[in-house]
Structure 1
């Protein structure tokens, strides 16, 4: 059985305008609302790599990377 893939959520804080779409759409709640609506990632291991946050981000501030 192949190993479960793991992903890392990278948010470019210089591009992010804290619109909240990423944590609104995240099915696993990997991205959650932090202070002042700032997206936070308390546990990267919850990410399933669906890329919904990356696709919905209007500022191109999110990059999902598959970890080796």
Structure 2
């Protein structure tokens, strides 16, 4: 079985941080950086990510995709 991980497109992020609370392993953190639209963005720690898809399911802005690695 291939390992999965979450990939992000932070330019779509609007900083709602729903994904941060949805991650069961704490792999997502909010950054004090902004994207081109002026929204604070998030970062996924790829070493912690288990590819569960909770962030993908929770995100209203389609920031995440789940990919096999």
After TM superposition, is the score higher than 0.5?
yes
Please list every run of 5 or more consecutive structure 2 residues that lacks an aligned counterpart in the other structure.
34-39
For the residue of structure 1 that corresponds to 2:10, the secondary structure is: coil
> 1:63 offset after TM fit, Å?
0.8
Instruction: Identify the structure with the greater strand proportion.
Output: 2
Alignment CA distance shift 1:64-1:49 (3 Å): same
Give TM-score scaled by structure 2 length.
Answer: 0.75
Which ranges in structure 1 are unaligned for 5 or more consecutive residues?
none
- Select which of 41, 53, 57 maps to 2:59: 57
Secondary structure (helix, strand or coil) at the match of 1:23 reads helix
Moved segments of 4+, more than 4 Å: none
In the TM superposition, what is the alpha-carbon distance from 1:38 to its structure 2 partner?
A: 1.9
Count of residue correspondences: 63
Q: Whose helix proportion is higher, 1 or 2?
A: 1
